[in-house]
Chains A and B, each alone.
Chain A
Amino acid sequence: MADWVGSCDRVLEVDLSRRTTRVFRISTEDRRRFLGGKGLALRFFAERIRPGLDPLGPDNVMAVFAGVVVASGAPCSARFSAVTKSPLTGLTASSSCGGPFGIALKTAGYEGLVLTGRCSEPIVLEIDETGARFLDAAHLWGRDTQETQEALELGAKDGALAIGPAGENLVLFANIASGHRFLGRGGFGAVLGSKKLKAVVARGGTARYIPADPQGFEKACRRATAYIHRNRFTGNLYRNAGTASHVDLCNAGGILPIRNFQDGCDPHASQISGWTMRDRFGAKPSTCRPCTILCGHKGVFSDQKIRQLPEYETVGLLGTNLGIFDPDLVAAWNEQCGRLGLDTISCGGILAYVMEASEKGLMTSPLRFGSPHGVSEAIEAIAFRQGLGDAMAQGVRRLSEKYGGTSFAMHVKGLELPAYDPRGSWGQGLAYAVANRGGCHLSATLFPLEVFLGFLKPRSPKAKAHFVRFFESLYAGINSLPTCLFTTYAYLLEAPIARFTPKAILAWTMQNLPAVAVRLMDLRLFTRLFETIYGISLSPAEFLRAGDRIVVLERLLNAMEGVSRKDDTLPERILTENRPCDSAGSGSKRTLWRRLARLGCPEPAPSPETPPLLALDAMLDAYYALRGYTRNGIPMKKTLRRLKVPMPTHGRFDGVPDRAVLKPFVVRVFFTILGRALQSASGMDDVFRRELASWPDGFTVLFKVLPFGPRMALRLDGRKRLRYLGDTLSEREADLTIGFKNMDTATRMLTARLSTVDGFAQNRLSVVGDLAAAMKLTRLLDRIQSLLYPEWIAKRVVKRVSPIPMAEKLWKRAWLYLLGIPLGV
């Protein structure tokens, strides 16, 4: 029995090939920089791998870490984190789990466990305070996750990691079970399977942990508990109806995936929501331990069996996304997946793809949307890799490459999308696109802000990058304490500043001053827990910086695998298709004053206006700038230096150039001036009106600096006036794209040092689209330059200054500079 203050700081490293172990200590320096949990797991993982290694080979490393908060008795302190290289994505994967293994590991006297090498035959690794033992697991091989854990004879203070048949058979999205919770995404189970490690058992209860500042700790816990009880999400929705309570909210917000993301809401959705399941099956808490939120439940199903109620992601992907609205079926498949050791999100995504591909005739299978026929068999076939299941076990990316239909393969970087459709929540789209482990909703969650709470406009790129960056860093920090991500709702929203500020002001600040808003977020509960338990100070800024460091290190590892901007994208379907739910009712939203203004006017026929396509590039640009990445999404050297990210020895990143700052800024300013001037002139100038009369409605022009520079779009509205849209438009909506081949050309042309004529003549512009339209546009550009510039400048930039009477020119110029450009009228 040993007593420790905060943490034992001990890490057990096990070489499975040689069957040797060693214990090393976590330095204070590392603790400050990486906190614990995911941070430290990543740090020790990073120094043990090299780019290009085979995720299922002996060189792959898996690090499983508890942290400071674990086993402290604080609310929601049962989490632990793991990091490995994912066989599904080929990139760094991290995962968090609330099973009993975390506390068991820490109370066995180790904060972390690093697994390297590979066993020759199946074994179980048993860990206790004296060290590790390798036990034969031949008799367990082939058993499912629950049978395996039962066979391990776990005491009350023990915890295990166990894989099922899916992990043994190297299904690329196999997971690891701990109790009835899972290290779910990215194929951790396959990595253990490749190491022939059936299970890891931690025999805990021998080490005890006391907080460094017991009184402060008590106080923080009391406050945390009060916040959790008071918060609407943690204290009511999740506690009573679990995460599946999201179904109603997502359905209303149009982000519930239906039939492989072909739609965003469905009238049957309520049949499968958390509240309905609670009413039908009862809901007894069945959660991580200890937990204050109690989001996990179990119930008695129609066949009188007690099962875990499925979580929202499972309901979404094994339910609505397959066109299934029967909770009995979903719960049964959920249990089946859990026993076999399959990630329900990836599994559901793959089933949906197969259903759509089968309906489209790309492959033959009995699976069809809306029909449970063959689903259970398919899940079984995946786990045992039989028949088509063998291809399905490779994940949706490889499946679609083999059978075709990559446009509806719903994955990012190979990881299947979770159950929030980004088309109704653009910030979540950005989060998916840039998430280090691929299509992941827990890297940063913006859908609560956009859809549930209404703080941010869902279909706008505005402010999204700030919040994605903030949540990524915050969540990386929380997973490194580690505690439950859901505490964010309570700790952030119930803190005085958020609680007592009127919602309208909160929303306005978040929307318009995101940089201020994220700085005002009160993170002190998280840092207080860390400080009072471990005894070293941690300011909220340091906490977020640690999060930044973790995210950037993870990105750096991915960049070494070849990830760049080209990979930070979303499925073709998300970027190009609109859903039926998008057009219904979207035109009816009209503000009160507009309705008043239109009073008495004949109501125009409701336009079948389609909502804008997701403008990912605008958000990516802003995100990379905030993160300190190049415009191509590679961490810059000075960012690594600033954050003190340990530079892996096998770098190849010495040649990464910094971002240009001045010229893009100049270009952006001039784009705004030009755009607003064009918008204004289109309303008052005859030449503009004459020219624009022949353009089709909705014609969209995009100005852009190639390849990833600033952007500016203009669109012709129904009244034949140009509307300046700035950088809020998806490039795919542009009918005509004027690309400046480089930043220098853009700067020189916009600042009137290179004329439009010469720009075209010297081939310094790339025109994509209709050439006649480009011709018309150049006439408008000539005209606006004649209006904006005094004659001696205009002469240099246009072939011939259009003769405008002095009086007209002067008032128009005054209008443009005084009203048009500043106010956009």
Chain B
Amino acid sequence: MMPSYFEFHCPVKIVCGYKALENLPYELKRLGASRPLLITDLGVAKAGLLNTVTAALQDSEVLIGAIYDQVPADSSVTVVREGAAAYRHSACDSLVALGGGSVIDTAKAVNILITQGGDDLLQFSGADRIQGPLRPLIVIPTTAGTGSEVTLVAVIANPRKNVKMAFASSHLYPDVAILDPRMTLSLPEKLTAATAMDALAHAVEASISVQKNPLSDAYAATAIRLIVENLPAVLREGSNTQGRLALAGAACFAGIAFSNAMVGMVHALGHAAGALCHIHHGTAMNIFLPHGLEYNLEKRRDAIRELLLPMAGPEVYAQTPALVRAEKTIETLRRFQEDVRSLSGLPTRLRDADVPQTMLESIARTALDDGALLFNPEDMTLDEALYVLQKAY
């Protein structure tokens, strides 16, 4: 269906596949950079991925100016400041982020500070507060989920004020995303499942959002198909390189889809649950996704119906009468989640994720102020949010 109007933007060059990392020096050169600050976390460093990166820079003009490897799982203002200081101290000229969502968001925020000057990140928080183009930024994701390598947002915690600051600006898009299967090989099963379900939630929500459009639909459908086809295989055999690459690609495409179509209530609830109960984002997505589809079923029956094709394949799609395809989609999703749960132990109910029932109401309240709700087809009220949470419990 062609909407009356839409916008689509993704300026990120995607370098994806076997030995993709070896292109890093070429891409840096193309961006006029030769002295990057490498931002990563200790887990990545321990897994030995740094060596792969430095090996790729062998015999090139590129010299790593400094390595900052102190990014925690939830990045904070202090971390960003330290990163910026490292950049300035070592006279770097660009950034390379190697890691998961937190590392990539940190790199984006460091990029704000080093380009705009100063140490005060707060004045740039919110939407569109950043002026002018930033320094070159190349990201190498080591998890296949957040899609942060192709989005225009960064989320950084401000522990002193106990809030998460969101930064959104088209200047925050990285210049290049390098997807190399070697980078995700070492990811443990449960995390693999959680990040893949995160990507699936991106893709599914993007396909039913009010801002969906033909381009985002294409990316979302591809992502869904890749995840459904490859996740069980990867969970069974961790060293499945082709499967890993497919998941990394799927996360990236889902990222492109949702940063253009935006996400809805599943993410609103997920963000709130994550902030209040510290439940892993991928787990939360896994839990809320079917409920989100059910909630929006009436308003988005047509869109949900079309998800059956990438999710269950052409045979099932053709055999299912059009009238019940939407329900069939949700059923297929549930069955897929059960498979994943038996393979990885990823919980599908809130109670299994250690969320106390007493927290549900505050989660609902927080979720109502989440920007993602703007793009949900249905206008969720407090009571309804609570109802969905009860069901997911």
Contact = CB atoms under 8 A, between A and B. Distances in A.
A799 B369 contact: no
B294 interface: no
Contact of B127 (A764, A769, A782, A800): A769
Contacts of B168: 771
B210 A775 contact: no
A684 interface: no
Nearest to B299: A799
A25 interface: no
Nearest to B163: A772
B129 interface: yes
B315 interface: no
B375 A772 contact: no
A772 B379 contact: no
Contact of B210 (A761, A766, A782, A798): A761
B337 interface: no
A769 B4 CA distance: 28
Contact of A760 (B125, B370, B374, B379): B374
Interface string A773-806: 0111010001000000000000000111000000
Nearest to A801: B379
B7 A771 contact: no
B374 A800 contact: no
Contacts of B125: 770
Interface string B1-34: 0011111000000000000000000000000000
Given A775-B369, A775-B374, A769 B126 contact: yes
A799 B375 CA distance: 10
A767 interface: yes
A758 interface: yes
Given A758-B210, A768-B128, A800 B5 contact: no
Interface residues of B, number: 26
A130 interface: no
Nearest to B377: A799
A762 interface: yes
Given A760-B375, A761-B210, A771 B5 contact: no
Nearest to B7: A763
A778 B125 CA distance: 20
A757 interface: yes
A324 B166 CA distance: 48
A763 B129 CA distance: 17
Given A771-B168, A772-B369, A761 B128 contact: no
Given A772-B370, A772-B371, A799 B378 contact: yes
Contact of B128 (A766, A782, A798, A799): A766
B111 interface: no
Contacts of A770: 125-126
A775 B370 contact: yes
Given A762-B5, A768-B127, A771-B126, A757 B374 contact: yes
Contacts of A762: 3-7, 211
A767 B211 CA distance: 16
A156 B213 CA distance: 85
B375 A761 contact: yes
A737 B375 CA distance: 19
A775 B373 contact: yes
Contacts of A768: 126-129
Nearest to B262: A761
B348 to A, nearest CB: 28
A757 B129 contact: no
A422 to B, nearest CB: 25
A774 B369 CA distance: 9
A762 B125 CA distance: 23
B379 A782 contact: yes
Contacts of A767: 126-128
Contacts of A769: 126-127, 129
Nearest to B6: A762
Contacts of A800: 378-379
A178 B239 CA distance: 91
A366 B109 CA distance: 41
Contacts of B209: 761
A771 B166 contact: yes
Interface in A698-751: 736
Contacts of A760: 211, 374-375
A238 B3 CA distance: 70
B268 to A, nearest CB: 9
Contacts of A782: 379
A115 to B, nearest CB: 44
B126 to A, nearest CB: 4
Interface string B353-393: 00000000000000011110111011100000000000000
B281 to A, nearest CB: 18
A772 B5 CA distance: 25
A643 B373 CA distance: 54
A481 B262 CA distance: 65
Interface in A361-413: none
A759 B202 CA distance: 22
Contacts of B379: 782, 798-800
B211 A776 contact: no
B127 A771 contact: yes
Contact of B211 (A763, A772, A774, A778): A763
A391 B92 CA distance: 33
B126 A778 contact: no
Interface string B237-272: 000000000000000000000000010000000000
Interface in A9-55: none
Contacts of B375: 760-761
A772 B366 CA distance: 10
Contacts of A778: 374
Contacts of A763: 6-7, 211
B302 to A, nearest CB: 16
Contacts of B126: 736, 767-771
Nearest to A762: B5
Contacts of B7: 762-763
Contacts of B128: 766-768
A689 to B, nearest CB: 16
A771 B378 contact: no
Most B CB within 10 A of own CB, among A761, A762, A798: A761
A774 B371 contact: yes
A771 B268 CA distance: 13
A98 B205 CA distance: 75
A406 to B, nearest CB: 13
A743 to B, nearest CB: 16
A766 B370 CA distance: 17
A760 B374 CA distance: 8
B364 to A, nearest CB: 14
Contacts of B370: 772, 775
B311 to A, nearest CB: 24
Contacts of B262: 761
A775 B371 contact: yes
A758 B4 CA distance: 10
A770 B228 CA distance: 36
Contacts of B374: 757, 760-761, 774-775, 778
A760 to B, nearest CB: 5
Interface string B88-130: 0000000000000000000000000000000000000111110
Contacts of A772: 369-371
A716 to B, nearest CB: 16
A283 to B, nearest CB: 52
Given A768-B129, A770-B125, 6 more contacts: A736-B126, A761-B262, A774-B127, A774-B374, A775-B370, A775-B374
13 contacts: A736-B126, A758-B210, A760-B374, A761-B210, A762-B3, A762-B211, A766-B127, A768-B126, A768-B127, A768-B128, A768-B129, A774-B374, A800-B378
Interface of B: 3-7, 125-129, 166, 168, 209-211, 262, 368-371, 373-375, 377-379
The 10 A-B residue pairs whose C-beta atoms are closest, nearest first, are: A799-B379, A771-B371, A761-B210, A761-B211, A800-B379, A769-B126, A767-B127, A768-B128, A763-B7, A772-B369
